[in-house]
Structure 1
Amino acid sequence: MTSAEVLTDAFERIREVVHHAVDGLGEDALTYRVDPDANSIAWLVWHLTRVQDDHLADAAGVEQVWTARGWYDRFGLSIDPSDTGYGHGSGDVARITASAELLTAYYDAVHQQTLDFLKGLTDDDLPRIVDRRWDPPVTLGVRLVSVISDDLQHAGQAEYLRGVFDRR
């Protein structure tokens, strides 16, 4: 198995969790928060997708799906197009609303762009520096693992919230 195949498998697992977390949910479930400062399922899935879109587009040298394919307009959120959710407070979280269908469609578009990028990836690509703002600078391999880790954590949180909502 190649590195690209391992990474592809990891991103496929994220997709499964994202779909399971939101499929069939209505607005009440997607915007449910266990307390006023907690994240919602909609925010978690939107945020993990925005981070994957932002980070992978940068690493691949392509435009983000969010802006290039009209997802920013489809969501109709009153936020800056570059917003990924980092630093969001309670009010910001509350403003992120979308249907399950819109969330998964955007995720799937980002997922496909990710898979397209991974298809051409070789082991020799992984040490390439993709972000010099950190010390040490971030390599492509580290960035991919970071996105996978972040996405799986947020997708798991969304699944947990779905369970809490379903049991209340």
Structure 2
Amino acid sequence: MDTRALLTDAARRPLDLARPVLDGLTPEAAHTLPGDRANSIAWLLWHAARQMDVQTSALSGERTVWAAGDWAARLGVDRESNDFGFGDDVDAVRALRVTDVAALGAHLEACVAALVAYVATLSDDELDDVVDPSYTPPVTRGVRLVSIIDDAAIHLGQAAYARGLVDGWSYGV
């Protein structure tokens, strides 16, 4: 099997869940914190895309999608280009308010497209390059890509669960 094809397929899967989660999502539901302390759907979707963007940019050396596409203005979120919410406390999660909930899906699509485009440029040898020697074992480019995709998938699953808690939505499975 072609490793790049496998990574590309995996990278696109969070979009398959984001679309139904966003379908009919109201701004109120998007910004509700389940239990008044868990991550909101808006924050989860924003974070899933942002972590993908920041980490892909670090690997590729390209500008972030966030900066290149003026997503801070488009979403109405005042965060820096390399801020993806890591370590946000409940107050920071509550403070993240998007002005266009539907645009969260477009932002995720742009970040996935950037990741997929980057993956297409890589050789098998480049997937084996060590990108972070501070871990044991050291983290390779391929392992980091899997981590980026896994993080997005986890957060999209959380967003789907949160949607059910907030407004009774069901994925329909």
Q: TM-score, normalization: structure 2? A: 0.89
Number of aligned residues: 168
1:78-117 matches, cutoff 5 A: 78-98=78-98, 99-117=100-118
Alignment partner, residue 141 of structure 2: 140
Gaps of 5+ in 1: none
Aligned residue number for residue 162 of structure 1:
163
SS in 2 for 1:50: helix
How far off its partner does 1:80 sit? 3.1
CA contact (8 A) 1:24 1:100 kept: no
One-letter identity of the residue aligned with 1:59:
L
How does 1:39-58 map onto structure 2 within 5 Å?
39-58=39-58
Paired AA for residue 132 in structure 2: D
Give ranges in structure 2 of 5+ residues lacking alignment: none
Is contact 1:40–1:93 with CA below 8 Å preserved after alignment? yes
- Aligned to 2:102, what secondary structure does the other structure show? helix
Q: Output the aligned Cα RMSD.
A: 1.7
Distance 1:157 1:134 in 2: 27
Equivalent position SS for 1:130:
strand
Structure showing greater relative contact order (alpha-carbon pairs closer than 8 Å, 6 or more residues apart): 1
Query: 2:121 maps to which residue?
Result: 120
TM-score, normalising length from structure 1?
0.92
1:111 Cα offset (Å):
1.1
Identity rate, percent: 36
